[in-house]
Amino acid sequence: MNIWAAVFVGGGIGSLLRYGVTRLLLALDLRGSFPWATFASNVLATAILAWVLLRMQPHFQQRPALSALITVGICGGFSTFSTFSYENFFLIREGFTGLAAANILINVFACLAIFFVFARTA
pTM of the model: 0.90
Beta-sheet strands, E only, within the chain: none
- The pLDDT score that the predictor gives to residue 114 is 95
CA dist., res. 78 & res. 70, Å (int):
10
Is there a contact between 108 and 78 (Cβ–Cβ < 8 Å)?
no
Residue 72: what pLDDT?
Answer: 95
What pLDDT is recorded for position 57? 83
- What amino acid is encoded at 58 in this protein? P
Predicted local distance difference test score (pLDDT) of residue 122: 63
Q: In whole angstroms, how large is the CA radius of gyration of the chain?
A: 16
Is 83 strand, coil or helix? Answer: helix
For the chain (length 122 residues), average pLDDT per consecutive 10? 95 97 88 87 96 88 93 95 94 96 97 94 70
State residue 60's pLDDT score. 85
**In this predicted structure, what is the pLDDT of residue 106?**
97
**Is residue 31 a contact partner of residue 25, using CB atoms and an 8 Å limit?**
no
